[in-house]
Structure 1
Amino acid sequence: MSDQEKELQVLRDQIDRIDQQLQTLLNQRAACAQQVAEVKQKYQGARDAVFYRPEREAQVLRRVMERNTGPLPERDVARLFREVMSVCLALEQPMRIAFLGPEGTFTQQAAVKHFGLSAITAPLGSLDEVFREVEAGTAHYGVVPIENTSEGMVNHTLHLFSRFQISIVGEVELNIHHHLLVRPNIDRNAVTRIYATQSALAQCRRWLDAHYPSVERVAVATNADAAREASIESDLGLAAAIGSELAIELYPLQVAVRNIEDQAESSSRFLILGRQEVGPSGHDKTSILVCAHDKPGALYDLLAPFRQRGISLTRIETRTLSGPWNSVFYIDFEGHVSDAPVQALFKELESESLELKLLGSYPQAVL
């Protein structure tokens, strides 16, 4: 055995011992999670027990990142813990997560990022169905898009909050990366047709103009539709798709070129829907709907109480309606409903003859 092999063998033996310790600790953690489930069922009842606590998970992940000393990056370590927590939660209660389908979309990617691979993700055909299943309890939680840096707010999601009695219990921020996908053994230079959603074509326009100026671009409804079309052999020529990393796990495709989006910082935000109240995690956000009469200075009057109490707004959207309440404001701001300044804010807003609906207080996105 060479000197190199001797040194490597010492390190490999050390890795094997560490792996054994890790495995023992993981099983100990899983056993503890099962005991947590038993305690909750004992005091809350098997039907009413709440196993997923967004504020608790956010606190754990933040502590993981704060105490990390490297060499692994803090976010990578947090993602590992996310999967450990996902597996342990599945032992307590298998989670069914409804999302706006079909499979292979960024919304599914957001669901997996937030709940981990052990959650059961269920694609639904419309946003209305996601809201309805969560409200009925058919799904434990739902994931819906709310905004994109390039396209703004998802108006239909905002509208549904006025129809359904459910809460926002979390949020997911997802960096949006578009990849050029082709079938295995296909020369990407021979591609004659590219399938993608209208938004993906828009977000990759400059790259497409530079690399495929004369290739036909076909707009489809979803990323999954694009991947499916590109995966099928056709006598119309060689096809490619613009899609996410998740698509290659669902269709016989491979990534030909990564990150072809024109705007490197493109991201989307998704909301986690549930039926529970979420306690404070220490770094929280609150979302509300406020209905007001349309009059000069209405927005200024609405924002004054936030400014007076030093409450920072992170998002505000205005919609005009017909009827007694002419304007609807969707507002995100920092803080939790249990915070004294937020409670005082709500009292003042309600005293101003405004109709206010609390959509939820929830942890700010960690990963």
Structure 2
Amino acid sequence: MSSRTARKPSGEGPSLEILRARMDEINLKILRLISARASVATEIGRLKHLEGGEVYQPVRERAIIERMIAENEGPLTNDQVKRIYVEIISACRALEHEPRVAFLGPEHTYSHEAARMRFGSSIQLMPLESFAAVFQAIENGRADFGVVPVENSTEGSINLTLDLLIDTALVIIGEVLLPIRHSLMSLSGDAGAVRRIVSHQQSLAQCRGYISANFPHCETEAVASNALAAQRAAADGTIAAIASKAAGEAYGLKTIASNVQDVAANTTRFLVMGTRPIEKSGRDKTTLLFAVADRVGTLNQALNLFARNAINISKIESRPLRARPWEYLFFVDVMGHRDDPKLARALKSLSNKALFLKVLGSYPEGRSAAA
């Protein structure tokens, strides 16, 4: 008997053919269960339509994924389980309505990756030319949601996003914590041919140590996005792009080096923007901005309102107040939902003391991709 058709001797476990037959049966069961789930999702969508409910339910979707992770006994990792269920939920959601999600384009930017991480693949992608265009697309109804970066663990806050949050009527409905793993890529993959390194200004800053140590002779150039940098590198063999591996693959680039960011745990926080506030999830964060009178102790008094109500402040940052030199707006992240009694009490007290107060949104606290 040839090795191609040989069967395992008895006592050594099931043969390859038996295992494959078992796999085929399981695949059919999975398909039937997914189809049944989709049918239930369709009926839920019909009821939500009658009641005027939202198609996208981030709190409910998060609860489903967290329960599946809690029940996971392996061998799949929690991150693999999460990705599978993000896609199942995305496909079922699309039977009700395929969300239009705006982000800084072109495709294959980190914003694109963050949008896919949050909403899955069954969405209408809207790559736009700027953060302002993302906000505008949601405000005028061309997009349902938007994903914009707000801060990086290495380089700090992204001021363009903070400035847009000041005047917008949109609300924050979620956050995505995306690990950033930069690769240096070129058309040939030959480090010796590189004369210029191109990337988004944030990415160049996140890799300045690597560039200085390994390519001190090269010029650097900031462009609008990492995906655009990959496009440039695909058209010129002397240019290397710092971008994601996905961007490099999309434009036919070869990797010179991987993980070239200066800090290994480099993470960017993205905000998910929408038009309507969302309900409590039980583990929430609230982002607000306020201004206080330019007098000694006023900021301290404002922040003490949170301490008195046992509310943790996870971040505070200032931005200049337009048309009023040397006065500032304060962006603050606190733990909890605006409808929580303690936080509601603190916000009411703050509104009486502040010159200006705006709650930008309460939303489920984000977790990194590996969480």
TM-score, normalised relative to structure 2? 0.90
Indicate yes or no: 2:322 matched with 1:314: no
- For 1:325 and 1:240, how far apart are their aligned partners in 2? 41
Q: Contact 2:128–2:134 (CA<8 Å) still a contact in 1?
A: yes
The correspondence of residues 262-341 of structure 1 with structure 2, limited to 5 A, is 262-321=262-321, 322-323=323-324, 326-341=327-342
Superposed displacement of residue 180, structure 1: 1.9
Question: Could you say what the CA RMSD is over the residues aligned between the two structures, in angstroms?
Answer: 2.1
Structure 1 residue 325, shift from structure 2 partner: 10
Name the SS of the counterpart of 2:264 in structure 1: coil
What's the % identity of the aligned pairs?
A: 38
Query: Which of 3, 6, 12 is residue 8 of structure 2 equivalent to?
Result: 3
In the TM superposition, 1:140-219 aligns within 5 A as: 140-183=144-187, 186-193=188-195, 194-219=197-222
Note the C-alpha offset of 1:226.
Answer: 1.3
Letter in 1 for 2:202: S
Please say which of residues 282-291 and 11-20 is displaced more in the overlay: 11-20
Whether contact under 8 Å (2:189, 2:253) holds in the other structure is no
* CA distance 1:283–1:221, shift in 2 (3 Å): same
Conserved 8 A contact 2:317-2:332: yes
* SS at structure 2 position matched to 1:52: coil
* Residues 130-141 of structure 1 mapped to structure 2, 5 A cutoff: 130-141=134-145
Contact 2:148–2:271 under 8 Å retained in 1:
yes
Match of 2:56 in 1: 52
Separation in 2, partners of 1:327, 1:145: 22
2:50 is aligned with 1:42: yes
Q: What letter matches 1:269 in structure 2? A: R
Q: 1:328 offset after TM fit, Å?
A: 1.2
Partner secondary structure for residue 260 of structure 1 = coil
In 2, distance between residues paired with 1:316 and 1:356? Answer: 14
Query: 1:281 is matched by which residue type in structure 2?
Result: S
Q: Which residue of 1 aligns with 2:35?
A: 27
TM-score by length of 1: 0.91
Q: Retained in 2: the 8 A contact 1:293–1:324? A: no
| Matched residue, 1:120 | 124
1:56 Cα deviation from its structure 2 partner: 1.0
For 1:86, what is the secondary structure of its paired residue?
A: helix
Asked if the contact 2:177/2:270 (under 8 Å) is kept, the reply is: yes
Question: Is the CA contact 2:132–2:164 (under 8 Å) kept in the aligned structure 1?
Answer: yes
Retained in 2: the 8 A contact 1:109–1:246?
A: no
Corresponding residue for 1:242? Answer: 242
SS of match in other structure, 2:245: coil
Distance 1:35 1:325, change over 3 A: farther
Task: Assess if the C-alpha contact under 8 Å between 1:90 and 1:119 holds in 2.
Answer: yes
Distance 1:254 1:22, change over 3 A: farther
The equivalent of 1:224 in structure 2 is: 227
Give the C-alpha shift of residue 141 in structure 1.
0.4
Count of aligned pairs between the two proteins: 358
1:347 and 1:324 map into 2 onto residues whose CA distance is 28
Post-superposition CA distance 1:6-44 (Å, at most 9, x none): 622222222222111111111111111111111112222
1:74 aligns with 2:78: yes
Amino acid at match of 1:14: R
SS of 1:51's equivalent in the other structure is coil
Q: Is the 8 A contact 2:114 2:176 kept in 1?
A: yes
Q: Shift in Å at residue 324 of structure 1?
A: 11
Superposed CA deviations along residues 62-112 of structure 1, whole A, max 9, x for unmatched, are 212222111211122011101111111111101110112232221111111
